[in-house]
Amino acid sequence: MAKPATGAVGGAQKVVAALLAQIESGTLRPGNQLPTIAALAEKYGVNKNTASKAVVSLKAKGVLSGPAGGNTWVRVSPPHKKRQNTRYHAEKSAVQLPESERSVAGVSEADSGISLQDLHEDRADYAVIEAPPEIYDALALPPGTRVLRRTYTRRHAQKAGAGRSVSYIPYDLVSGNPDLLDPTREPWPGGTMHQLYTIGVELDRIVDHVTVGMPTSEEAQAFDIPPGVPLVRIRKVSYSTEDRPVEVTEIPIPADRIELIYTTQLERWS
């Protein structure tokens, strides 16, 4: 393969250095839109291909964001999250507390240190659907069974990548309590465990199935994932004390912003 001309490499490096200097000085701030490729090429005296290479290089480093062929902006850094399995103990211990205490903060906020009030976007979308095959299998339901699908989308700042989780609960389990079908009641103080508590369901255990894979193009754009960064995919299955799977939650998290911490408490010999 032929090597690029030295001038093209030097020109791209010049554009990269100039943009980095503006970002470091605060002239370009997170979320600020960059000039077009044509404008960058004219400003720095390079051709469009060279300016494009500079932008692609900075996207690969996680400095810039934006779809290929579309607008480009300075990337809004994602918050680093620490997800611990001890969160489930904390959530269950809060179930029977008064609402005033349950509503103070949830385990999701503890992951990132960002309160609900400080989020740019916090949206819950509800729909009653026929369970997809992988979901009715996980919930031990017959094909064709309806489930309540809840899609949660959060964004900590404008133009930041979104965080998303999708929860599935058997519709016949929650249909007796209209409040559990109402997305306007989100965020629910005490979360899903308290919602299940209102219909007499106590959770016995939660199993996290963790896999890793590359994101789809839609996920890469929605979550603002730099090229080459995989997704950690968590499938959380919650079981009642009657050994029934009562909820499945799909939680995709880009690997550049998550630390998974699992604590295993061992029984003592004496």
Q: Please say whether the beta carbons of 176 and 199 come within 8 A.
A: yes
Please report the pLDDT score of residue 100 as a whole number: 86
pLDDT score recorded for residue 43: 94
Share of the chain above pLDDT 90, in %: 86
- Please tell me the predicted confidence (pLDDT) of residue 117: 83
Query: Are the C-beta atoms of 40 and 15 separated by less than 8 Å?
Result: yes
Spatial CA neighbour of 80 closest among 151, 161, 13: 161
Paired tokens of 49:
């291909």
Distance of CA 87 to the CA centre of its chain: 17
Distance CA 157, CA 121 (A): 8
Q: Give me the sign of the Cα torsion angle 182, 188, 193, 198.
A: negative
Residue 207 CA neighbour count, 13 Å, CB half: 10
At 187, the amino acid letter reads P
Please tell me the predicted confidence (pLDDT) of residue 118. 86
Regions in the chain scoring below 50 on pLDDT: 1-6
For 20-78, how does the pLDDT look when each residue is reduced to its tens digit (9 = 90+)? 999 999 999 999 999 999 999 999 999 999 999 999 999 999 999 998 888 999 999 99
Sequence-distant (≥ 6) Cβ neighbours of residue 1 within 8 angstroms: none
Q: What angle do CA 222, 54, 215 make, to 5 degrees?
A: 25
List the domains of the chain with CATH numbers: 6-74 (1.10.10.10), 81-261 (3.40.1410.10)
pLDDT of residue 195: 96
Q: What is the pLDDT of residue 107?
A: 67
